[in-house]
Amino acid sequence: MRKTIILTAVLLIFAVLSGCRSQRPSDVKELTREEQLQKAVERNYRKAEPHYELGVYYMQSGMLERAESEFNIALNCDPVYKEAQAAMVSVQDKLGNPERSKLLADTYIDQARNNAAESFLLGRAFQRHFYEDYAVKCYHNAERLAPESAVLNKYLGYYYLRKGDKAKAESYLTRSFHLDPYQPDVSSELGKLGVVVEIPPESQRNIFQRVTDPLADLFKREEIKE
């Protein structure tokens, strides 16, 4: 009799535990995208990126004043955060403030104009927010400061190739190849453009490696592709 009671109790406990594992409280719900972003902001309030991402969500949802507020906070956290700078330019346009938008863009471009890496990153941010003219201006500032950068010339070559400007694409890719002829993708693309290139013997690689590319580390760190 005692064994039967113990066995019954064990079975009841097992059934209860199984039920706890299989049941999900009805009041538990999935967080919305907005709630997820707000949680990220709460966890990292002093970091710029979560505020920027929440601001982008608000801007895409038409909540422009909220977006502007989040971009402001992002820039307070990191005054040179390029993504937030470009987003602030964009949200001012959407708010109907084109003069302020242009003023901010000119200010940000001027702040970065003497730093090749900063100019390039700002250009990419503008490009992501569909400001091609501002992006090109930043890229050309970077080019002015780092004309010997093979990775930058390669990036610009592919940029103009996507734009359909084969003449500029050929010019930048050729320059990139001359700076670093050991780039199979560049030599292949030049071949498609009708440019005949000759890759130097492997024994000469160290000659080209003596020249340090000023933007190579940036492109590697940011995992920037063409």
Q: What is the pLDDT of residue 27?
A: 57
Q: How far apart are CA 147 and CA 160, in angstroms?
A: 17
**Residue-wise DSSP of 150-205:** HHHHHHHHHHHHHTT-HHHHHHHHHHHHHH----HHHHHHHHHTT----PPPGGGH
199: pLDDT confidence band, cut at 50, 70 and 90? confident
pLDDT digits (tens, 9 = 90+) for 139-197: 999 999 999 999 999 999 999 999 999 999 999 999 999 999 999 999 999 999 999 99
Structure tokens at 19: 């039920």
Domains of the chain, start order: 34-146 (1.25.40.10), 147-213 (no CATH)
Q: How far apart are CA 185 and CA 187, in angstroms?
A: 6
pLDDT digits (tens, 9 = 90+) for 65-94: 999 999 999 999 999 999 999 999 999 999
pTM attached to this predicted model: 0.82
Please name the residue that has the structure tokens 């059934």.
Answer: 15
Cα Dmax for the chain: 95
- CA distance between the termini of the chain: 78
CB 75 within 8 A of CB 84: yes
